[in-house]
Structure 1
Amino acid sequence: MISKKRRWCFLIILLGVLFMAFHVLFMKTPTIEAQGTKEKKFTSIQVKKGDSLWSIAKEHMGDEYDTVDDYIDEVCETNHIYDRQITDGMYLVIPYYTVRR
Structure 2
Amino acid sequence: MRNHKSLYSRISKRKSNYNQKLARIIVILSVVLCFTFSIVIFATPAKGNEKPRYKYFKSIEIEAGDTLWSIAEEYMTKEYKCTMDYVKELKSMNGLTSDTIHEGNSLVIAYYSDELK
For the aligned pair, the TM-score class normalised by the smaller chain equals 0.5 to 0.7
Q: How does 1:73-88 map to 2 (within 5 A)?
A: 73-88=88-103
Aligned CA-pair RMSD = 1.6
**Partner Cα distance (2:49, 2:105) in 1:** 38
Report the Cα distance in structure 1 between the residues aligned to 2:57 and 2:75, rounded to whole angstroms.
11
Report the equivalent of 2:30. Answer: none
What is the TM-score when the length of structure 2 is the normalising length? 0.56
How far apart are residue 85 of structure 1 and its match?
1.0
What is the DSSP-based 3-state SS (H/G/I as helix, E as strand, rest coil) of the residue aligned with 1:97? strand
Contact 2:61/2:107, CA 8 A, preserved across alignment: yes
Structure 1: 5+ residue stretches without partners: 1-29
Runs of 4 or more, structure 1, over 2 Å off, are: 30-34
In the alignment, which residue of structure 1 is the partner of 2:70? 55
Q: What SS is found at the alignment partner of 1:40? A: strand
| Unaligned runs of at least 5 residues, structure 2 | 1-45
Q: Sequence identity, in percent?
A: 37
Task: Kindly indicate whether structure 1 or structure 2 has the higher relative contact order, using CA contacts under 8 Å at least 6 residues apart.
Answer: 1
**Residue 72 (structure 1) aligned to one of 80, 87, 90:** 87
Q: Which has the larger radius of gyration?
A: 2
Structure with a larger share of its residues in strand: 1
Q: Kindly tell me the number of residue pairs found equivalent between the two proteins.
A: 71
